[in-house]
């Protein structure tokens, strides 16, 4: 199939149609794309690298945004260490998105693997995996993430916790999100397993693993993508919350949540911009991603709630 | 019926035992209980004697059994941070969290259900669309941001509501309540709204979609054909049918509310279990974390069990399906 | 009609509120409850747990010393009515008769001997105040005598920081040894208190709140009009400020400088500020042969004076004052503040800042042309804007090629990590921040003895000399200063010793921080320069 055909087919598809029919979704998609792009190009767009302490100058601290008494060298103002807020938000968004995406990918890999295994192997393995899933599903992500973080703090000395904070966060959040994938995949495997085409493939002697990966997996990718999109919002919020609670990313490598925590101290003293701008960015990002998720869910499977 | 109930109870007990094992592993292997108890100048030999005395050299299953025995009696050891007995620390903070959670749940239900009914009955009205949009924003705003904004607006700018703590509390035995003083009730408003908002939007969306679905069913069409009044149809038939899932979801959400109280309590310096938990995570205060984990899972498991059994009573067809949430 | 109902409704509400209010939390119509807050909680109710201003200041309301400080920081009689020296190496304390502990038991010389012993042994953090002590003995129920190893003219003044506990109570409750918890039992004194002071601990929930009530049987005439004191730790500074503005608390201890202007604009809030006797400084490990947290192996860069100079002269304290402290700091080159006896004004001049090339050249001369990496420890809830100062230092050092890995943590964990161990082993840090106020004696000798003299477990000197700076000449001078009664001679020696540590770059003194408190306008209180907060001077109108 040529590329042109592919594009043509995509343009005719239901998804594209439903996308075009919903202006709100198009705005959300545009916003998401914009934020992703800005985060991706952060080193090019930023005027300063806020993670490099040598580039900061203390005498630039607490500059107000440009229309509130500041000037264009710090368009959104600066924070308590003289970091340009515009640059910091770009890098912070990058960090939030990076952590969020990593969490989603890791959770997806774990979830799909365990889902396939339990649906395919069945028996005791399935029982154990699904029981763990049941238990874990009773706990909200934030609680599990906090718990894992606390345990890590207990194991490794606090000394080096800051250095691997990002890694710890990704592991904590991923481990709290895999269950939905596993359940969905397992459910589909159970359904597809007995379908005729799978039986037929088996008759012609394809290995069962190959069948799973080549035939069953593509069929469950729709719902998996929906979950992934919705989970991206959840992961970003969870990371921001952990950072806000002071157990997330350190102030030397701020994500949006860390920035909000830092700025919160200055909210009463009139330096509102340190909290408000990252807050708006975070809310816009999550809102856009959630709107896309909502739409994708309705478009792919109106029955899935 | 009995076998079903027994099965569920056994499952719940299994879950608790598994969580207990996790808590035990944390307690025994992650936080070295000896180092937490002694000073830096204690000799190796003294430490060894202490290990022996505390039974830390016994085989693991025996230690586990002893741990469970202690837990059942409410003995969770001493906090690394404050050296208070953990059981008492948690018990002191339990009322604050439960009262907050209850208020938040009532708020979420009391506002969420009517709004859901309204948007379900008039899905095309502009107010419904507005509410839908606002609810999506409500889900997208992180709880802590909402809390901060509420504090700025109501406590700092308007100065009408307190920004932290429980206000005045009244004691009933070991229970402290903020429900009986004006200051206590005022202090509950902002945290309850913050905590309940997410659940409110969830309930509203759920009721709305349930209403939409029910209104499309033949059952309602027949009711209309019979000439029943709109009012009777909307509230007598439609709403009644949506209530079962709403009640069960709310029940399940009560657990989530208790967990999410962690954030709200931190923002509002609310002296509850959640704040204690965050502090203990920051300090790697393993005994407190382990105890909190056990307590919260006991809550969750009990609520889930109750909901499962309720399902069975209300609608045997629903058996086996548990609601997925995140 | 409608509006009347509403009004009536409101009245009933108000009436109900009053009834409930009177019936429950407020004991009487003239109740003066005083609520105050700080960023962190009092770490313990044990007065020897940490030699930390906030802990001691809080517990001074519950426990009392033999001699205490008045409003001007001069010594005045407390549990001792008369004190002095019978010989150059013998001190006496005549105790106040008729004093009772909160449980009604009488206060005697036994309690004093017990407390002084408890404070100088076990896990006590107050051992530094006992360097000169040979023996404490009871002479009669109301007289205690102390033999010192050498002449120690400052003993009484030092012991203004030693609070006296009840012997019977401590022994009964298994708390006879200061709680660094070498025993298996949890220490009762960590959470409970039994003193003679003006306030009684009514309720203590660690991390949540501590309620004090006045001691009706106190020997002194109370200068306050309070019926109840509620202390709440509120970690988030924004919440704390909001609580004060909303009137939820009456007083806030240690206001972040960034909130000072905002609070000053509030008509209901008074901001009280003044320079504190505390110096905030940076120190480094000069004791180990290899730093704990660095990429330089096999040698310790801080042993090289050129490295210390490059660090010292690259830290712009004026910028820290301007941006981080909002002007609320007084940069200094000395380890003591003006106002402390022994402050040498002539030497309080910081060397000029180096250009980054020059600092890099110094490092290159020392053998580190590419700079190096070092871990830094910093508290995040102890000194004013502590973590932010450290972050600023990280930036300043980054410009001369030093990569600093900052670890900021809450003070109890922080102190546990960096302070010298009870057996005098060095703290586990390479580069750290600390603040020190010679709050017991207001004399420079305390600073020499605790921070600059070579650490020694037996003489108890250098207990807080975390970095292990050691200079034999200074050690000898400091010992002579301790016993010297002639002011002119003493001052000459102080000048000499001060010059020694300044020229050696033994520490990087940053600044004297400002004490900033804020209270509601209807509260009248007294702010001493040592940042103690005596409740006995608080009145609520």
pLDDT tens readout for residues B47-59: 676 667 666 677 7
Q: Is C412 on the interface with B (CB under 8 A)?
A: yes
Residue C267 domain flag:
no
- Would you mind telling me the total number of residues written for chain C in this entry? 541
> For residue A271, which residues of chain C lie inside 8 Å, CB to CB?
258
Same domain, C281 and C215: no
pLDDT more than 90, % of chain C = 52
Q: Are residues C119 and C129 in contact, defined by beta-carbon separation less than 8 angstroms?
A: yes
Whole-number CA gyration radius for chain C: 25
pLDDT tens digits, residue range C204-236?
A: 887 788 999 999 999 999 989 999 999 998 877
pLDDT tens digits, residue range B257-279?
A: 888 888 999 888 888 898 888 88
For B323, the closest chain A residue by CA position comes to: A137
pLDDT above 60 for C115: yes
C460: three-class secondary structure by DSSP:
coil
Residue A135: Cβ-neighbour burial (10 angstroms; 0-12, 13-18, 19+): buried
Instruction: Indicate the pLDDT class of residue C243, thresholds 50, 70 and 90.
Output: confident
Q: Is A58 on the interface with C (CB under 8 A)?
A: yes
Picking from B40, B50, B83, the nearest residue to C186 by CB comes out as: B83
Quote the minimal CA–CA distance from B320 to chain A in Å.
Answer: 12
Same domain, C52 and C145: yes
pLDDT, position C352: 92
Same domain, C527 and C507: no
Q: Are residues C344 and C496 in contact, defined by beta-carbon separation less than 8 angstroms?
A: no
Same domain, C194 and C241: yes
Q: Is C227 on the interface with A (CB under 8 A)?
A: no
| Best residue of B51, B169, B181 to probe chain C, by most C CBs closer than 10 Å | B181
Q: CB distance B83–C239 less than 8 Å?
A: no
pLDDT above 80 for C340: yes
Residue partners of B287: CB distance under 8 A and separation at least 6: B27, B31, B76, B77, B78, B79, B80, B86
Low-confidence ranges of chain A (pLDDT < 70): 1-19, 138, 157-163, 268, 301-305
Cβ pairs A/B, distance under 8 A: 119
Picking from C236, C391, C407, the nearest residue to A158 by CB comes out as: C407
> For residue C25, which residues of chain B lie inside 8 Å, CB to CB?
168-170, 181
pLDDT above 50 for C165: yes
Q: CB distance C20–B180 less than 8 Å?
A: yes
Count of domains for chain C:
2
Domain of residue C363: give its range.
276-514
For A267, the closest chain C residue by CA position comes to: C238
pLDDT tens digits, residue range B128-147?
A: 888 888 887 877 888 888 88
Quote the minimal CA–CA distance from A3 to chain B in Å.
Answer: 37
pLDDT, position B40: 41
Picking from A54, A162, A267, the nearest residue to C398 by CB comes out as: A54
pLDDT above 70 for B210: yes
pLDDT above 70 for C380: yes
- The two three-digit tokens of residue B304, written as one number: 């889930």
pLDDT, position A99: 92
Same domain, C312 and C201: no
Q: Are residues C339 and C529 in contact, defined by beta-carbon separation less than 8 angstroms?
A: yes
Q: CB distance A260–B324 less than 8 Å?
A: no
Adjacent-strand bridge partners of C280: C435, C511
With helix as H, strand as E and coil as C, how does C364-409 read? Answer: HHCCCCCCCEEEEEEECCCCCCHHHHHHHHHHHHHCCCCEEEEEEE
Same domain, C285 and C408: yes
* Cα separation values, B206 from B117, B132, B193, B201, B248, Å: 10, 11, 19, 8, 11
Highest mean pLDDT among B201-210, C77-86, C171-180: C77-86
For A131, the closest chain B residue by CA position comes to: B15
> For residue A147, which residues of chain B lie inside 8 Å, CB to CB?
281, 289, 293
Distance CA A125, CA A117 (A): 8
Q: What is the mean pLDDT of chain C?
A: 86
- Partners of chain B (3+ Cβ pairs below 8 A): A, C
Cα–Cα nearest to C210, from B283, B77, B82, B79: B82
Same domain, C329 and C437: yes
For A57, the closest chain C residue by CA position comes to: C395
Q: Return the higher-pLDDT residue of B299 and B188.
A: B188
Query: In the predicted model, what is the mean pLDDT of residues B245-259?
Result: 77
Picking from C388, C395, C405, the nearest residue to A56 by CB comes out as: C395
Q: Are residues C239 and B144 in contact, defined by beta-carbon separation less than 8 angstroms?
A: no
pLDDT, position A119: 82
Cβ pairs B/C, distance under 8 A: 108
Q: CB distance C248–B165 less than 8 Å?
A: yes
Task: Provide the total of helices (H) and of strands (E) in chain B, helices listed first.
Answer: 13, 2
Q: CB distance C293–A264 less than 8 Å?
A: no
Residue C257 domain flag:
no
Q: CB distance A54–C395 less than 8 Å?
A: yes
Q: CB distance B289–A177 less than 8 Å?
A: no
pLDDT tens digits, residue range C129-141?
A: 888 899 999 999 9
Residue C17 domain flag:
yes
Same domain, C186 and C335: no
> For residue B142, which residues of chain A lie inside 8 Å, CB to CB?
237, 240-241, 244, 257, 282-283, 286
pLDDT, position C179: 62
> For residue B97, which residues of chain C lie inside 8 Å, CB to CB?
none
- The two three-digit tokens of residue C312, written as one number: 């010292």
Same domain, C373 and C430: yes
Picking from B143, B280, B300, the nearest residue to A139 by CB comes out as: B300
- The two three-digit tokens of residue C414, written as one number: 């922080």
For A237, the closest chain B residue by CA position comes to: B142
Q: CB distance B322–A137 less than 8 Å?
A: yes
Q: Are residues C312 and C414 in contact, defined by beta-carbon separation less than 8 angstroms?
A: no
pLDDT, position C315: 94
- C147: CATH: 3.40.190.10
Same domain, C505 and C527: no
Quote the minimal CA–CA distance from B155 to chain C in Å.
Answer: 6
Give φ, ψ of A17 to 5 degrees.
Answer: -65, -50
Q: How many C-beta atoms lie closer than 10 Å to residue C370's C-beta? A: 8
> For residue C21, which residues of chain B lie inside 8 Å, CB to CB?
168, 181-183
- pTM equals 0.75
Q: For chain A, what are the domain ranges?
A: 23-304
Q: Is A158 on the interface with C (CB under 8 A)?
A: yes
pLDDT tens digits, residue range C471-502?
A: 999 999 999 998 887 889 999 999 999 999 99
CATH C-level class of A23-304 = mainly alpha
pLDDT above 70 for C13: no
pLDDT above 90 for C94: yes
Q: CB distance A241–B144 less than 8 Å?
A: yes
Same domain, C493 and C456: yes
Q: CB distance C262–A271 less than 8 Å?
A: no
Residues in chain B whose Cβ is within 8 Å of chain C = 37-42, 50, 53, 78, 81-85, 89, 92-93, 148, 151, 155-156, 159, 161-165, 168-170, 180-183, 267-269, 271, 276, 279, 282-283
Q: CB distance B278–A245 less than 8 Å?
A: yes
Q: CB distance A268–C245 less than 8 Å?
A: yes
Q: Which run of H or of E encompasses C499?
A: helix C487-503
pLDDT, position C307: 95
Q: CB distance B326–A139 less than 8 Å?
A: no
| Best residue of C208, C268, C410 to probe chain B, by most B CBs closer than 10 Å | C208
Q: Is C17 on the interface with B (CB under 8 A)?
A: yes
Q: Which CATH architecture has domain B93-322?
A: Orthogonal Bundle (1.10)
Adjacent-strand bridge partners of C143: C94, C140
Instruction: Indicate the pLDDT class of residue C334, thresholds 50, 70 and 90.
Output: very high
Whole-number CA gyration radius for chain A: 23
Beta-sheet strands, E only, within A154-195: none
- Partners of chain A (3+ Cβ pairs below 8 A): B, C
Predicted-complex ipTM score: 0.76
Same domain, C151 and C131: yes
> For residue C242, which residues of chain B lie inside 8 Å, CB to CB?
151, 155-156, 163-164
**Least confident interval from A246-255, B229-238, C236-245:** B229-238
Dihedral sign, CA of C218, C220, C226, C229? negative
| Best residue of B16, B23, B144 to probe chain A, by most A CBs closer than 10 Å | B144
């Amino acid at each position: 199939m040529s590329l042109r055909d592919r594009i043509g087919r995509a343009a005719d598809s239901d998804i594209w149609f439903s996308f075009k029919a919903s202006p709100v979704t198009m705005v959300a998609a545009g916003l998401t794309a914009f934020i992703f792009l800005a985060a991706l190009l952060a080193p090019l767009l930023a005027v300063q690298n806020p993670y490099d302490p040598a580039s900061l100058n203390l005498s630039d601290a607490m500059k107000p945004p440009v229309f509130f008494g500041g000037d264009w060298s710090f368009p959104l103002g600066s924070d308590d260490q003289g970091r340009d807020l515009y640059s910091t938000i770009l890098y912070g968004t990058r960090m939030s998105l990076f952590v969020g995406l990593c969490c989603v990918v890791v959770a997806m890999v774990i979830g799909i693997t365990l889902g396939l295994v339990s649906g395919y192997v069945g028996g005791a393995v399935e029982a154990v995996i699904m029981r763990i899933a049941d238990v874990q599903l009773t706990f909200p992500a934030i609680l599990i993430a906090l718990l894992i973080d606390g345990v890590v703090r207990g194991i490794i000395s606090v000394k080096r916790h800051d250095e691997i904070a990002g890694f710890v966060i990704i592991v904590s959040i991923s481990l709290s999100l895999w269950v939905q994938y596993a359940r969905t995949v397992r459910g589909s495997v159970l359904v597809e397993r007995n379908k005729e085409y799978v039986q037929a493939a088996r008759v012609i002697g394809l290995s069962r693993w190959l069948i799973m990966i080549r035939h069953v997996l593509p069929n469950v990718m729709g719902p998996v993508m929906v979950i992934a999109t919705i989970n991206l919002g959840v992961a970003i919020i969870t990371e921001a919350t952990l950072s806000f609670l002071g157990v997330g990313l350190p102030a030397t490598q701020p994500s949006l949540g860390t920035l909000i925590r830092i700025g919160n101290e200055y909210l009463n003293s009139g330096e509102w911009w340190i909290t408000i701008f990252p807050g708006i960015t975070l809310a816009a990002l999550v809102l856009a991603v959630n709107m896309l998720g909502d739409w994708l869910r309705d478009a792919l499977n109106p029955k899935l709630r | 019926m009995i076998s079903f109930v027994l099965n569920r109870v056994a499952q719940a007990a299994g879950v608790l035992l598994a969580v207990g094992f996790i808590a035990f592993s944390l307690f025994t292997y992650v936080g070295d209980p000896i180092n937490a108890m002694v000073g830096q100048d204690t000799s190796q030999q003294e430490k060894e004697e202490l290990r022996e005395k505390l039974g830390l050299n016994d085989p693991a299953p025996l230690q586990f059994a002893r741990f469970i025995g202690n837990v059942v009696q409410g003995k969770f050891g001493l906090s690394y941070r404050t050296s208070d007995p953990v059981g008492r620390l948690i018990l002191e903070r339990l009322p604050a969290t439960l009262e907050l959670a209850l208020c938040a749940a009532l708020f979420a239900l009391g506002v969420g259900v009517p709004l859901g009914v309204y948007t379900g009955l008039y899905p095309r009205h502009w107010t419904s669309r507005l509410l839908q949009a606002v609810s999506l924003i409500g889900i997208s705003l992180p709880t802590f941001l909402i809390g901060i904004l509420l504090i700025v607006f109501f406590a700092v700018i308007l100065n009408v509501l307190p920004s932290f703590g429980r206000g005045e509390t009244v004691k009933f035995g070991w229970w402290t309540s903020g429900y009986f003083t004006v200051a206590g009730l005022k202090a509950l408003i902002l945290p309850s709204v913050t905590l309940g908002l997410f659940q409110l939007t969830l309930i509203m969306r759920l009721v709305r979609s349930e209403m939409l679905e029910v209104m499309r069913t033949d059952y309602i069409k027949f009711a209309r054909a019979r000439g029943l009044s709109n009012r009777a149809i909307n509230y007598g038939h439609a709403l009644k049918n949506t209530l079962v899932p709403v009640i069960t979801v709310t029940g399940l959400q009560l657990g989530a509310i208790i967990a999410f109280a962690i954030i709200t309590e931190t923002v509002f310096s609310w002296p509850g279990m959640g704040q204690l938990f965050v502090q203990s995570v920051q300090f790697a205060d393993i005994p407190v974390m382990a105890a909190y984990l056990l307590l919260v899972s006991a809550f969750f498991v009990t609520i889930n069990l109750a909901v499962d059994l309720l399902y069975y009573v209300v609608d045997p067809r629903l058996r086996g399906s548990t609601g997925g949430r995140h | 009609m409608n509006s009347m109902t509403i009004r009536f409704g409101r009245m009933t509400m108000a009436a109900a509120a009053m009834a409930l209010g009177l019936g429950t939390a407020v004991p009487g119509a003239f109740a003066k409850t005083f609520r105050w807050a700080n960023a962190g909680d009092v770490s313990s109710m044990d007065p020897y747990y940490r030699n930390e201003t906030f802990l001691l200041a809080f517990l001074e309301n519950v426990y009392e010393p033999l001699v205490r400080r008045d409003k001007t920081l001069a010594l005045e009689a407390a549990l001792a009515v008369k004190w002095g020296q019978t010989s150059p190496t013998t001190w006496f304390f005549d105790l106040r008769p008729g004093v009772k502990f909160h449980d009604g038991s009488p206060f005697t010389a036994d309690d004093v001997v017990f407390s002084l012993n408890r404070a100088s042994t076990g896990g006590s953090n107050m051992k530094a105040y006992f360097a000169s002590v040979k023996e404490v003995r009871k002479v009669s129920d109301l007289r205690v005598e102390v033999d010192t190893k050498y002449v120690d003219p400052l003993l009484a003044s030092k012991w203004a920081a030693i609070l006296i506990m009840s012997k019977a109570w401590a022994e009964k409750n298994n708390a006879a040894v200061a709680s660094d918890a070498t025993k298996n039992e949890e220490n009762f004194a960590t959470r409970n208190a039994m003193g003679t002071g003006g306030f009684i601990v009514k309720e203590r929930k660690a991390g949540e709140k501590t309620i004090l009530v006045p001691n009706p049987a106190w020997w002194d005439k109370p200068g306050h009009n309070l019926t109840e004191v509620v202390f709440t730790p509120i970690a988030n500074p924004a919440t704390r400020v909001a609580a004060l503005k909303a009137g939820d608390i009456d007083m806030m201890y240690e206001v972040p400088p960034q909130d000072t202007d905002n609070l000053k604009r509030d008509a209901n809030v008074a901001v009280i500020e003044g320079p504190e006797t505390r110096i905030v400084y940076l120190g480094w490990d000069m004791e180990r042969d290899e730093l704990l947290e660095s990429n330089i192996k096999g040698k310790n860069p801080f042993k090289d004076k050129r490295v210390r100079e490059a660090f010292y002269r690259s830290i712009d304290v004026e910028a820290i004052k301007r941006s981080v402290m909002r002007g609320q700091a007084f940069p200094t080159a000395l380890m003591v503040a003006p106002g402390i006896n022994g402050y040498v004004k002539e030497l309080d001049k910081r060397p000029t800042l180096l250009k980054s090339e020059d600092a890099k050249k110094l490092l290159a001369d020392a053998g580190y042309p590419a700079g190096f990496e070092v871990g830094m420890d910093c508290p995040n809830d102890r000194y004013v804007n502590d973590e932010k100062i450290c972050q600023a230092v990280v930036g300043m050092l980054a410009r001369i090629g030093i990569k600093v890995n900052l670890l900021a943590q809450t003070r109890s964990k922080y102190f546990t990590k960096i302070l010298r161990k009870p057996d005098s082993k060095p703290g586990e840090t390479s580069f750290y921040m600390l603040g020190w106020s010679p709050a017991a004696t207001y004399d420079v000798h305390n600073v020499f003895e605790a921070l600059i003299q070579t650490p020694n477990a037996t003489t108890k000197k250098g207990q807080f000399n975390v970095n292990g700076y050691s200079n034999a000449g200074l050690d000898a001078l400091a010992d002579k200063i301790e016993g010297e009664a002639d002011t002119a001679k003493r001052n000459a020696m102080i000048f000499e010793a001060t010059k020694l540590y300044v020229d050696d770059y033994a520490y990087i003194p940053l600044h004297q921080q400002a004490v900033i408190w804020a209270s509601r306008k209807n509260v009248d209180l007294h702010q001493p320069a040592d940042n103690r907060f005596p409740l006995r001077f608080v009145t609520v109108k």
